[in-house]
Amino acid sequence: MKDTKRLYIFTGKGGVGKTTLSKSFTRLLMEHDHEVAYLTFQNQSLTEGHKGTTKKIQNGIQEISLDLEECALNYIERRLNSKMIASWIVRTPFFRALINMVPGFSYLIFLGKILQMQNDNPRLIVVLDAPASGHALTMVESTTNFGNIFGSGIIFEDTKKMLTLLNDPDYTKIHVVSLPSLMSWQEAMELKAGLKERTPVDVDVTINNALYPLLELHLQELPDGLRQKALNEKKLIDENQNEMLCVLLHSLSQDNLTIESDLVGSLAKLI
């Protein structure tokens, strides 16, 4: 499979189906013999429950949920070569307040862990089910912010490496997921514009759960509300198709695993 990236980021408004879509995309890469991890961020601050990073094989997919405190501890331990000192630093009120108060600091730590994982395993592709909309913008710009803040030193060098990779179109690709509704589409386009201001990597919008193509031949038989919904979808897609990477049909299945499997054959453009 040509032009495969090392990091795929799926984001969008909550409820657009990005979790199912990103897991299905993980399956697509696995079918082409890639080593892939589906990854999420377990928490966004150190005040939330500390459960530790979890790793499991779920329905054939390697799922990793990163814990912020564990990732911070791991980063400091590697930099200072001392687990004891790292444990002390992470527990200090100042450090915890710094992570919780400075925008993007948590994402810097998470991204550092992702790049460490890929450095340890050069074959690993990460599919990141990223936080929704505004969080995604903060995540993408976090490395730039910290590079500017520190200017020199260990953190500066680390953020410089992250910035180089995250802004490399051969390394990273971002998918914004939208439903076929005007409000969801407008938010997706605003998110895409915001991301493109912050990174030169490809940012594409995918329409998920489109009903219209399934109902097109039966419009006159539908209840008024459902027919109007289908027509609204058609209008949105027709008017904006040049801005859409692809349109994914609504699945008639109620089982998430079946939906993931059904989607695989429609996701080649997302690579």
Closest CA to 114 of 58, 168, 74, 60: 74
pLDDT for position 149: 67
Query: Any idea which residue has 């730039």 for tokens?
Result: 144
Residue 1 lies in a domain: no
pLDDT band at 254 (very low <50, low <70, confident <90, very high): confident
235 within domain boundaries: yes
Provide the CA 125 distance to its chain's centre, in angstroms: 13
Over residues 218-246, the pLDDT tens digits come to: 888 878 888 888 899 999 999 999 999 99
156-211 pLDDT tens trace? 777 788 888 888 999 999 999 999 999 999 999 999 999 999 899 999 999 999 98
Question: Directed axis angle between helix 68-80 and helix 83-91, to 10°?
Answer: 130
Domain range enclosing 155: 7-270
Q: Are 245 and 237 in contact (CB under 8 A)?
A: no
69 belongs to a structural domain: yes
Closest of 245, 201, 253 to residue 25, by C-alpha: 245
Q: Is residue 106 part of a domain?
A: yes
Q: Return d(Cα 180, Cα 232) in angstroms, integer.
A: 8
- pLDDT (tens digit per residue) in 80-126: 889 999 999 998 988 888 888 877 788 888 988 999 999 999 999 99
Please report, as a single letter, which amino acid is at residue 95: F
Q: Is 49 exposed, middle or buried (0-12, 13-18, 19+ CB in 10 A)?
A: exposed
In this structure, is residue 2 part of a structural domain? no
Measured CA to CA, the distance from residue 165 to residue 148 in angstroms comes to 17
| 76 CB-side CA count, 13 A | 15
Give me the pLDDT at residue 52, please.
87
Residue 252 clears pLDDT 90, i.e. is over it: no
For residue 151, what pLDDT band results from cuts at 50, 70 and 90?
low
165 domain-assigned: yes
Structural domain tally of the chain? Answer: 1
pLDDT digits (tens, 9 = 90+) for 5-47: 999 999 998 889 999 999 999 999 999 999 999 999 988 788 7
Cite the DSSP H helix spans in the chain.
Answer: 18-31, 68-80, 83-91, 93-101, 105-120, 133-150, 154-166, 182-198, 212-215, 224-240, 256-263
- Where residue 97 falls (left for φ over 0; alpha for ψ -120 to 50; beta otherwise) is alpha
**Domain with 117 in it: what CATH number?**
3.40.50.300
Q: Minimal CA–CA distance to 103: which of 132, 140, 158? A: 140
**Is residue 130 assigned to a domain?**
yes
**pLDDT band at residue 152 under the 50/70/90 scheme:** low
- The Cα 173–Cα 204 span in angstroms is 8
| 17 occurs within a structural domain | yes
